[in-house]
Amino acid sequence: MTDIRLTLDEVMDLALSVLRAAGADEENARPIARCMWRAERDGAKSHGLFRCAGYAGAIRSRKANGRARPAVAATEGSVIRMEGDRGFCPVAHESGLPALGALAKEQGVAALAIRRCLHFAALWPEVETLTEMGLAAMAFTSSPPYVHMAGGRRKVFGTNPMAFGWPRPGQAPMIFDQASSLTARGEVMIAARDGHLAPEGAGIGPDGRPTRDPEAILAGAQSPFGGYKGAALALMVDLLAGPLIGELTSLEIEAEDDGAGPALGGQLILAFAPERLGGPDAAAHGERLFRALLEEEGVRLPGMRRAATRPLTPEEGVTIPASLHRELVALC
Amino acid sequence: MTDIRLTLDEVMDLALSVLRAAGADEENARPIARCMWRAERDGAKSHGLFRCAGYAGAIRSRKANGRARPAVAATEGSVIRMEGDRGFCPVAHESGLPALGALAKEQGVAALAIRRCLHFAALWPEVETLTEMGLAAMAFTSSPPYVHMAGGRRKVFGTNPMAFGWPRPGQAPMIFDQASSLTARGEVMIAARDGHLAPEGAGIGPDGRPTRDPEAILAGAQSPFGGYKGAALALMVDLLAGPLIGELTSLEIEAEDDGAGPALGGQLILAFAPERLGGPDAAAHGERLFRALLEEEGVRLPGMRRAATRPLTPEEGVTIPASLHRELVALC
């Protein structure tokens, strides 16, 4: 498999061209392209240009609205409710995250509930945007069901990720962004495609028995990480990104969705102003904890791999498979 | 080991007598005793009368303030900041939780940050109290370090539990309350006492290697559940119950604490008003999800074991080991 090297500007241009050709207007194409650009910049390949054809296909088929105008439906107390207008989440984030950040600084803690949106990216970009405002943040979203409940064998939850971020003045924030399932969906699909075994504990077959055969897992269900504790987190995410904000659960997404590409659903984002809760020392206090943890050999903080890649790619550019490059150029 | 059967009233009386004898006044003894009473009522023995001597010892030694007057330091925006006055957390909850519930109903989402308190109970009671007001809730607290970081071998985090609850009108709420470690601290200690092996994955020895030998784990460190993902949750809890609210991290608790019994620290509790975020259908929507999940054989919701025990104990009473009963009677 040959690779093509692109500058970060070329990544942005390619993503924009594909999205525009699919029918996205500038107000939609730019935030979506920037989301893929951020992933490529940080070496998070699975959410980079690899996703571009998926975004474009959903816009072309009109499943996603490429001319969405997400809008704040109401700001009441410490809650902002947004309607996503069937657009991709990064479009709603353009105005939603600055509004959430401002409200959190005013109220101490605040929530942004986005309905009728399609989440096809990682969760760390929106969390990072909030940490850049000096806030701690959490984000939750659900998806069509692939994961079984503790004691069950039926697919009932999406891989239901949650992300948490903590601001680090002058350097990349601490952010984790992790699925409630042991592995990402894509990891099982790639194992099936390439004929590898899935990791131990990744899922069960249709008979309910644990297996490492990726085809059996795709026919059965993925397992939550950490057994019943991960399943409880998947249920929490389902409630927070679903009934709490008037949106679909994973099972309801399955019932309504056509199964092709990203699905319509909801997202909940929470933001916390550390100086309002813990006083002016909060950020420095977090740094003392990180410093103590990093004293130990072999330990790194969540998000440090992305942070280490970030300074390199503006110089070195990024590589994508030649086949992906051809596919995207053909979509322009 | 003979058991003694007690009515729930006798549980309450015994706990109250022990706490009073240790020096707690009524405003402290009642909420602490009720917390143990709730645990016994629900069959959650590890947080029932088993804890009573620990509460009493900390009060007698003046490590915990048995005459604490926790007070709201400030309510600003959607945040209530309380000073625990070195009392046990249930005492702060008496006025803190109704205030948090009222603020969440007004603001949609709200936070209660309790500083200078000792958490020696489970987290589900405070979450349940909020669900009884029709709210969803989360709670976080940290403790002296027993758990290693991903890639590390040093004890850096407490078992750092988090709890989440969702209200179910007319029935017991859905609540999970789970440590970031694979097992509870007590489970490893009991295995050491009784000469059993700890569960697979429970911890590492001082050499950093995984072991099931409980003595080696006590000398080494407990492991987070689910590998690096559980470690990330432990770090999140450390930040939320520590620097975010101006309180100690697990490592700082260790540096300041005498190591005997419960330690002084902080607690963060979040409450969400589903009808403010998702509209009037939120609770019924949650029920539809639970119904769909429970259709599958073998599946139960977190908290259902406690809910199933609850109707039985008012009739049948509870049993505690005769040795524990003797110990507590001697403390009266």
Chain B residues 151-170 with CB within 8 Å of chain A: 151-154, 156, 164, 166
| CB-CB neighbors (< 8 A) of B77 in chain A | 78, 106-109, 276
Q: How many domains does chain A have?
A: 2
Helix axes A228-240, B282-294, angle to 10 degrees: 150
Residue listed under structure tokens 């069901």? A145
Answer yes or no: do A45 and A162 share one domain.
no
pLDDT tens for chain B, 332 residues long, are 699 999 999 999 999 999 999 999 999 999 999 999 999 999 999 999 999 999 999 999 999 999 999 999 999 999 999 999 999 999 999 999 999 999 999 999 999 999 999 999 999 999 999 999 999 999 999 999 999 999 999 999 999 999 999 999 999 999 999 999 999 988 999 899 999 999 999 999 999 999 999 999 999 999 999 999 999 999 999 999 999 999 999 999 999 888 888 999 999 999 999 999 999 999 999 999 999 999 999 999 999 999 999 999 999 999 999 999 999 999 99
* Residue A257 pLDDT: 87
| CB-CB neighbors (< 8 A) of A81 in chain B | 277
Q: Which residues contact A278 (CB under 8 A, 6 or more apart)?
A: A285, B113, B243, B244, B245, B246, B247
* Residue A40 pLDDT: 97
Nearest residue of chain B to residue A112 (CA atoms): B277
Contact B296 A150 (CB under 8 A): no
Residue A303 lies in a domain: no
Answer yes or no: do A43 and A138 share one domain.
no
Residue B58 lies in a domain: yes
Residue A310 lies in a domain: no
pLDDT tens for chain A, 332 residues long, are 699 999 999 999 999 999 999 999 999 999 999 999 999 999 999 999 999 999 999 999 999 999 999 999 999 999 999 999 999 999 999 999 999 999 999 999 999 999 999 999 999 999 999 999 999 999 999 999 999 999 999 999 999 999 999 999 999 999 999 999 999 988 998 899 999 999 999 999 999 999 999 999 999 999 999 999 999 999 999 999 999 999 999 999 999 888 888 999 999 999 999 999 999 999 999 999 999 999 999 999 999 999 999 999 999 999 999 999 999 999 99
* Residue B112 pLDDT: 98
Nearest residue of chain B to residue A178 (CA atoms): B229
Nearest to A77 among B108, B156, B274 (CB): B108
Nearest to B282 among A107, A156, A243 (CB): A243
Answer yes or no: do A147 and A266 share one domain.
yes
Answer yes or no: do A189 and A83 share one domain.
yes
User: What ipTM, to 2 d.p.?
Assistant: 0.97
Domain of B8, CATH number, reads 1.10.1530.10
Residue A159 lies in a domain: yes
Residue B115 lies in a domain: no
Answer yes or no: do A24 and A114 share one domain.
no
Q: Which of B277, B290, B305 to mutate: most A Cβ within 10 Å?
A: B277
Residue A312 Cα, gap to closest chain B Cα (Å) = 25
* Residue B1 pLDDT: 67
DSSP, res A99: H
* Residue B258 pLDDT: 85
B101 touches B269 (CB < 8 A): no
Answer yes or no: do A86 and A11 share one domain.
no
The half-sphere exposure of A143 on its side-chain side, counting CA atoms within 13 A, is 22
Domain of A268, CATH number, reads 3.30.1370.60
B257 touches B144 (CB < 8 A): yes
Q: Which residues contact B180 (CB under 8 A, 6 or more apart)?
A: B147, B157, B159, B160, B161, B162, B224, B225, B230, B231, B233, B234, B237
Contact B111 A176 (CB under 8 A): no
Q: Which of A299, A300, A306 to mutate: most B Cβ within 10 Å?
A: A299
Answer yes or no: do A177 and A264 share one domain.
yes
Residue B329 Cα, gap to closest chain A Cα (Å) = 37
Backbone angles phi, psi at A124, to 5 degrees: -65, -30
Answer yes or no: do A94 and A147 share one domain.
yes
Strand partners, A267: A114, A141
* Residue B80 pLDDT: 98
Answer yes or no: do A146 and A42 share one domain.
no
Residue B319 lies in a domain: yes
Chain B residues 203-232 with CB within 8 Å of chain A: 225-230, 232
Residue listed under structure tokens 């704040």? A72
Return the number of CB contacts < 8 Å for A and B. 211
Residue B223 lies in a domain: no
Q: Output Rg (C-alpha) for chain B, integer angstroms.
A: 20
Answer yes or no: do A101 and A8 share one domain.
no
Residue A288 lies in a domain: no
Range(s) of the domain holding residue B322 = 3-64+307-331
